[in-house]
Chain A
Amino acid sequence: MSDSPLLRVSNLTVALHLEGGTSLPVRDVSFDVGASETVGLVGESGCGKSMTALSILRLIPKPPAEIVAGSVNLSDVDLLKLDSNGIRRVRGNRVAMIFQEPMTSLNPVYSCGEQIAEVLRLHSGLDRRRAWARAVEMLDRVQIPNAAERAREYPHQLSGGMRQRVMIAMAIACNPEVLIADEPTTALDVTIQREILALLDELQAQLGMGILHITHDLAVVSESAHRIVVMYAGQVVEEASVDQLFSAAAHPYSLGLLASRPELGARRSRLPVIEGRVPEPSQEVEGCRFRERCPFAVDRCTEEPPLLEVSNGHRARCWEFERVQREGEWPRVQ
């Protein structure tokens, strides 16, 4: 954990009020993002990672969702306590966000340049001409060739990779302190994915922004992040540096995720499998939420483990983390 984090999410809990009752898709989630730091928020669908990200900027639909506990501190301000004007001044300005599918987040009836210029007029108070000039500059910065001409083009005229660059240009236009990137490369081809990841690294080095990179892909964060937060069924189950997680995972779920991934060049006849399925957010589990799928489970697991300190900067929500690390391998059934 960094000394003075830019963004500190503490004990965030989100409730979802639906007809069938209330569930908790995000449960007591805490993590920090420091300046020039990339934190990978990893988990499978439904684990609460996107809900967490959206809650930071209070973008979750309310109702049905409601932030019931916790705080989100950006430097010294609690974003959850701001009024609607206050949070609007933060969004896209101090904290920006990019999404998986740039086509649906860009407005099809405005040119790319206009959309970026709008952000600048809104937050930086630039006039039309200066905002346009700066928009072109931003497109150039995200390495879009012929930026001045491309600025006049509409989203549908661009490829997926180019659209994501436009999204990034829009996101960094106001020089944000924190960039939240929700599956920014999932919809892209691998060669384009690599370019976008490199671009984010480069922009981070120039601007010093903290990046929260949300993804389901462990390999992607292993290349892009400094630290990783693994989520399972609404909870943080492990937090570690990239090195710690990939060389000495301490939570069985992290180990299982790593094992079940068909890694290039490591061909096995059968992939190890995490049996069963994720509990529903509404489902209350006695003790550890991973217990029923966990090959390491012991009697004590009916008591819910807190995040336990594994080593410096490495925490895991597992009573048996020492044994998990010692064995270091997902046990094979059959």
Chain B
Amino acid sequence: MSSDRPDRNAPLLQVRGLKKVYAPTSGFFSRKSTPVVAVDGVDLDVAPGETLGLVGESGCGKTTTGRCILRLIEPTAGSITFDGVDVRALGSRDLRAFRRRMQIVFQDPYGSLNPRLTVGSALHEPLAVHKIGDPSDRPDRVAELLRKVGLPTDYTHRYPHELSGGQRQRVGIARALAVGPRFIVADEPVSALDVSIQAQVLNLLNDLQEALGLSYLFIAHDLGVVEHVSHRIAVMYEGKIVETGPTEQVVGDPRHAYTRALLAAVPRIRTGGRPKPVSGDSANR
């Protein structure tokens, strides 16, 4: 993935000065709170076919950033330009049409799939909502989507609870792909999965990017995963981007103290192992 780097001069997505402030709340049970600045002036660029990794710890604002870009959360300030279109200026009708081009994959596919819809219906729904294709050929499209994400086509009749975590995430990805987007916000798409399944889903995202020329904003807390999938990495801390650059540079030669601390904290396979416990020194019992 690192060798054929996409052209970064013409960003598909350009975010400038993005800000999200949660107004103070006061309720019967709570004291008046101070406003929370969740996202504090974020600038991001994502080129066509590029993966930008957005990494940070819980509460740093990475998820809010991803959702603000899709306007699933309304940003407080800043500009979002996608393929020349000012996303923040879109009215609700235009925004809905626009969502064909930007999609999201969530962390927990079980929470984001309707348990009462079969896989087939879940994939059929976005096609119907966006009036994609002729109703008669939608079953074929659904089958095609399943093939794309590596699921057997007879899975259309299954319900989410009949699938494993990895399979559910594949359905989540298929659902995002249904409308033919160019850009996908992948919010912790593999963190709920087991290592061996995680590898399958990461490879799938990679293959789809190559086949369809997708751009990803890949949000994750796991630096190992982010490093693996991203062309560039942006490190977020307390609502701000503290460092951004090509993956090799951010991981190999981090400039910001926070990036260094984050990298140092990542557990790595140590072959040496801990020294053997000294036997017989547990005399305190």
Chain A contact residues, CB within 8 Å of chain B = 2-3, 34-38, 44-45, 160, 175, 177, 189-191, 193-194, 197, 207-209, 216-220, 222-226, 241-243, 246-247, 256-258, 260-265, 267-274, 277
Contact = CB atoms under 8 A, between A and B. Distances in A.
Interface residues of B, number: 49
A35 B266 CA distance: 28
Nearest to A263: B224
20 contacts: A34-B277, A35-B277, A36-B279, A36-B281, A189-B57, A190-B265, A194-B265, A208-B283, A208-B285, A209-B282, A218-B195, A219-B267, A220-B267, A223-B267, A223-B270, A226-B274, A242-B272, A261-B224, A262-B199, A270-B206
Contacts of B228: 262, 267-268, 271
A175 B285 contact: yes
Contacts of A262: 198-199, 202, 222, 224-225, 227-228
Contacts of A269: 1-2, 206
Contacts of B227: 262, 264-265, 267
A182 B165 CA distance: 21
B263 A260 contact: no
Interface string B187-220: 0000000111111101100100000000000000
A106 B223 CA distance: 30
Given A36-B278, A190-B57, A274 B196 contact: yes
Given A44-B195, A190-B267, A260-B198, A265 B251 contact: yes
B273 interface: yes
A225 B247 CA distance: 31
B262 interface: yes
B32 interface: no
B92 interface: no
Contact of A263 (B57, B221, B268): B268
B114 interface: no
Interface in B1-43: 1-2
B195 A260 contact: yes
Interface in B166-202: 166, 194-200, 202
B153 interface: no
A274 B223 CA distance: 22
Most buried by B among A36, A45, A190, A246: A190
Main secondary structure of the interface of A (DSSP, over half): loop
A216 B195 contact: yes
Contact of B263 (A175, A193, A264): A264
B203 A218 contact: no
A149 to B, nearest CB: 19
Contacts of B266: 190, 219, 264
Contact of A241 (B199, B224, B273): B273
Interface in B233-285: 247, 251-252, 261-263, 265-274, 276-279, 281-285
Contacts of A218: 195, 269
A243 B223 CA distance: 24
A264 B271 contact: no
Nearest to A201: B274
A183 B227 CA distance: 24
B76 interface: no
Most buried by A among B166, B228, B272: B228
A270 B266 CA distance: 21
B112 interface: no
A47 to B, nearest CB: 9
Contacts of A207: 282, 284
Contacts of A208: 281-285
Contact of A258 (B267, B269, B282): B269
A138 to B, nearest CB: 16
Contacts of B276: 226
B263 A44 contact: no
Nearest to A208: B282
Contacts of B166: 277
A73 B52 CA distance: 52
Contacts of A223: 267-268, 270, 274
Most buried by A among B2, B221, B277: B277
Contacts of A219: 266-269
Contacts of A273: 196, 199-200, 203
A197 B268 CA distance: 13
Most buried by A among B196, B200, B268, B282: B196
